[in-house]
Structures are given as C-alpha cells and as structure tokens.
Amino acid sequence: MNLIRRGTTPLSSYRPGGMEDQFGRMFENMFQDFFAPLTQGRWAGEDVGMPRLDVTETEKTFEVKAEMPGVKKEDVNVSIDGQRVTIEGECQQANEQRQGEQVVYSERSTRKYQRSFTLPTEVDDTSAQARLEDGVLLLSLPKKQGGTARKLTIQ
C-alpha cells in the first residue's frame, strides 16, 4: 500500500470562501450522484468501480472506510493533495481447472476501484495512516492545524 504525498500547487492551495465552497460541494455532489450509475460499471472500456465510503469526522480527524473486496494491500494507492483524497486499487483473480495435463477451464478477471473526494478542511498528510482489513480500507486522516489569525497593524 502506498501513501503518496502530493506537492502543493496554486490550484490546490486555493480555498474559496464560505458561500462558494458550499455551492461547489453541492454542485460536485450533484454530478457524482447523477453519474454514479454510469461509473459503477464499465468506464472507457475498463471495469472500474467506485468503492462505497463511510466518512466520519471527529474533532481532530476524518475516519474513512472504503469497501474494496479482493484487493491486496500492495495494489492500493492513496494520495492526498490538500483537501482532496484519491483512492485507487486493483484486484486480479485467476481460476483454472485441469484434468491431468489438459486445461479444461480457465478464467481471469480484473477489477479496478477509483474514488476521489474533497474533505471540508485540509489533511495533515505527514501523519495520515492507512490499513486494509478484510477488504475494507481504513484511513485515519488528521486535520491540518490552521495557524491562528493575526491582526496586522496598518501603517
């Protein structure tokens, strides 16, 4: 399992104000809900699924549970870029039946998972943790501690 830290870019550091942020989240959720049935099946010729998520917020962290059945921890990538979290994984299975030296039945399948979402506050990627238990990816994403506001003296 890889946890990838992304560098900050001018776009990732841009955080709109209250009204724009709420509108942006509402707009993003509307499109995700609208296109969700299309992304559950085949997308661009590949079998890509969106893992189901449970996100809970505590005072200091976001706890994320993502269902990724059949995926091994070596095949999971989690990247964090400010408020955006991206989860990717791949599951490969092979089934073969033989009678002596002859192959009677052979089947292979690949399933990819990909999900990207934005959290309300930035994540401290240096202390984020991830583990995979029984096909469920568990992320503990600490909130980045914001600096205290400072009043400037106008000269």
Distance, first Cα to last Cα, the chain: 53
> Could you give all domains of the chain from N- to C-terminal order, each with its CATH number?
2-142 (2.60.40.790)
- Alpha-helical (H) ranges within the chain are 10-13, 18-40
Lowest mean pLDDT among 13-27, 57-71, 138-152: 13-27
Q: Are strands 2-5 and 76-81 parallel, antiparallel or unpaired?
A: parallel
Per-residue tokens: 59: 């005072």
Q: Is the pLDDT of residue 127 over 50?
A: yes
Alpha-carbon distance values, 81 to 47, 84, 153 (Å): 26, 5, 33
Rounded to the nearest angstrom, the gap between the alpha carbon of residue 78 and the centroid of all alpha carbons in its chain is 6
**Higher local confidence (pLDDT), 33 or 71:** 71
